[in-house]
Amino acid sequence: MIDIVIVNYFSTEHLIKCLESVKSALKGLKAEIYVQDNASSDGVERIKSLFPQVRLTKNASNIGFGRAVNQALEMGRGKYVILLNPDTYVVDDFFKISINFMEEHPDIGIMGPKILDHDARLQNSARAFPNLLTAFFGRSSFLSKQFPNNPITSKNLLSMKSDGKTPMPVDWVSGACMVVRRQAIKEVGVFDERFFMYWEDADWCKRMWTANWKVIYYPNVTAYHYVGGSSEKKVFRSVVEFHKSVYRLFDKHFHSLLFILKPLVLAGLGMRLVCVLLMHYFQSSFQKKVCQNVIKPEKRTQSLSSKRIKVIDVITRMNIGGPAIHVYFLNKGLDPDRFDTLLLTGNISPNEGDMSYLFHLNEKKPVIIPELQREIRLISDMKAFLKIFAILVREKPDILHTHTAKAGSSARFTTIIYNLLGRHDVIMIHTFHGHVFEGYFSKMTSKMFVNIERLLAMACDAIIAISHTQKEELANKYCIAPEEKIKTIGLGFDLSPFFSSRFLKGQFKKYMNIDENMLLIGIVGRLVPIKNHRMFIDAAKLYVDNNPDIEVKFVIVGDGELKPELMDYCKSKNLAESVIFCGWIKNVPFVYGDLDILALTSLNEGTPVSIIEAMAASVPVISTDAGGVHDLLGPEIKMSKHGFSICKRGIRCPKDNTAAFARGLEYLTASSTESIRFQVKNAHNFVSERYSHLRLIDDIQNLYENLIKKRANGSR
């Protein structure tokens, strides 16, 4: 029996999603769920009908976080108490793994799990107890943002020191999600209600340690946290209470001999409070100006249509890669006042990395059509056709936007029939993230797919190529559609985590038990034939044989159908000690923090995401000349006598020349630091300008609205 306690304050939309995740993760485990609401007026009563088992207490006023938790603690009798913020989301087996861990370690009073942002970036939820400098070099302070690698902040943020799997004693863990032993609460006491909000969790953990109860950070269990889902509703109150609690913590726990510092602490916190409030004020003013500028074109759009533009996106599966990230940003980022979006997708295969976690905290989840698969299967394809057709009838979209080959053919064919039978006029767009015309099938099969795409393209209103090279291939090499129908819109990403990868240096090597001085060459991608990992392994063999004095490891990040075969191939090449198979790693930026070279050996590509990520992280790149790679690496500066090209932003090699690839690796490791730094800087600046997700969203919105305008004018 466990007690789950959630304090809600104007976060009912988040709360409902939180409770849905709790219900799913309990899996039969007996629990009492207490929701303590601090006088919200956003319809919190809804949870009574949605979750009848929840015990809801509505306070007449906002009594603060700690006092509300204490109310529930008095009512509960569970052996363990799980505190959750309403803007958290727990994953499957969260409770089972947490309780088992606590049962195995009876000396632990509080356990804090690994907490991730909604986009899967690690939150620093395990920390050292604050000192006099923490207020100025805190986790999200101005100075820490300007100097993220400073020793004060690094010392305080203990999550970053974890190897990602081993339990670790820490000073305190975030109250956004923690598991607490009831016996420890009986000995230590409940929350100190003088902390209205903030720092009550640090105070509680401090008292746990004083009473000889351990506080442990346990990264093998995970929760997601939408930061600020509650506190951001009342910014002024939130900021003031934060600073009051900081002073209360200092006053309560610091040595009495430091009383002479109280005036200085008060003055410092007062100055910090004023600065933070001023910063919020200017940010708010700036956002209002931006919104005013955005509203003007929106009003023009509304004159064309009295309703939002309904868009259905279809993608075969949400496996790790550029297409999945692409549709995520389109569904999340399009202006909700102008567009109503829906995503249809199939299931991923067991060996693929799954990116559907991106939608955990989204209000709209993708609609899963299990029959929408990569393989051609008549019965499954017919079922997918019927399900997509039913969704078209129900949703009545203005635009159908398809991504990837199988989803593109299935959904566009269905929409053609839908338009003909119902005399509808759904606009059709297809994005070629890559193509299957080369490297996947026999010449005869490839020719068949080319002809199918030509026919489908005739019914499309627009074809999107993600690079200039791809547009040239689609228009002139394969003659899929005339040039005027093909629009070039590059991929878009939130590259900010990769810009900061250098501050994560050393963590990936520590996680993989690799010596910090080891040269690290990596490849990131699915383990499938088109990625040609055998060439990477062959090049690794040549490099090792030709450079016996260099200590080097080759890391393969990814998973897929070829993993067992590739592992056996490494053994046959006597590379078992030199090549490390890492599997899928969600926190990819910390991989790039330690990579010395990013390699790509594909036979065919659209615009490879791993190269964009590496360039953003300032990691040198070497790649085969496949698809959009040419656009990324830029013009050739010099042709090496060994067969590889030195380009403006990286090294390019022929697809069938392993020796040239190995020589390219040697060039990158032996060249002067200055020449490589110049190349890396060019690459970093290039992707920063070209591959922003904000630019992607703006380009797509403009395309959608232009096509709607053409339809309204009858000029399609």
Give dist(CA 285, CA 276) in Å, integer.
14
Confidence grade of residue 260 (pLDDT, cut at 50, 70, 90): low
CB of 112 closer than 8 Å to CB of 218:
yes
Check whether 532 has a pLDDT greater than 70.
yes
Give dist(CA 231, CA 715) in Å, integer.
50
Per-residue pLDDT, averaged over 352-358, amounts to 72
Owner of token pair 């039978």: 421
Per-residue pLDDT, averaged over 378-395, amounts to 91
The least confident of 138-142, 269-273, 561-565, 585-589 is 138-142
Amino acid (one-letter) located at 630: H
pLDDT tens figures, 423-468: 788 999 999 987 767 766 677 878 888 888 998 999 999 999 988 8
Give dist(CA 524, CA 301) in Å, integer.
42
3-state secondary structure of 626: coil
Question: Where is 287: in which H helix or E strand?
Answer: helix 262-304
CB under 8 A, 24+ apart: contacts of 472-481? 473/435, 473/627, 474/432, 474/435, 478/435, 478/437, 478/450, 478/453, 479/454, 480/450, 480/453, 480/454, 481/454, 481/457
Per-residue pLDDT, averaged over 309-329, amounts to 87
Per-residue pLDDT, averaged over 217-235, amounts to 72
Beta strands in 466-567 (DSSP E): 486-488, 519-524, 552-557
- pLDDT at position 635 is 93
- pLDDT at position 229 is 47
Q: Kindly write down the DSSP assignment for every residue of 186-251, as one continuous string.
A: HHH-S--TT--SSSHHHHHHHHHHHTT-EEEEEEEEEEEE-TTTTGGGGHHHHHHHHHHHHHHHHH
Q: Which two tokens stand for residue 66?
A: 């700690």
Q: Which two tokens stand for residue 481?
A: 């559609």
In this structure, what are the phi and psi dihedrals at residue 460, rounded to the nearest 5 degrees?
-80, 150
Residue of higher predicted confidence among 675 and 237: 675
| For the ranges 106-120, 218-232, 259-273, 562-576, the one whose mean pLDDT is highest | 562-576
Give dist(CA 392, CA 312) in Å, integer.
9
pLDDT tens figures, 336-351: 999 999 999 998 876 6
The least confident of 247-261, 427-441, 577-591, 592-606 is 247-261
- pLDDT at position 264 is 64
Q: How far is CA 271 from CA 277, 293, 600, in A?
A: 10, 34, 51
Residues 6+ apart with CB under 8 A from 475: 481, 482, 483, 486
Residue of higher predicted confidence among 349 and 519: 519
User: Which residues, listed in sequence order, are joined to residue 342 by a DSSP beta bridge?
Assistant: 312
Give dist(CA 486, CA 321) in Å, integer.
23
Question: Where is 651: in which H helix or E strand?
Answer: strand 651-653
Q: Which two tokens stand for residue 429?
A: 């767009």
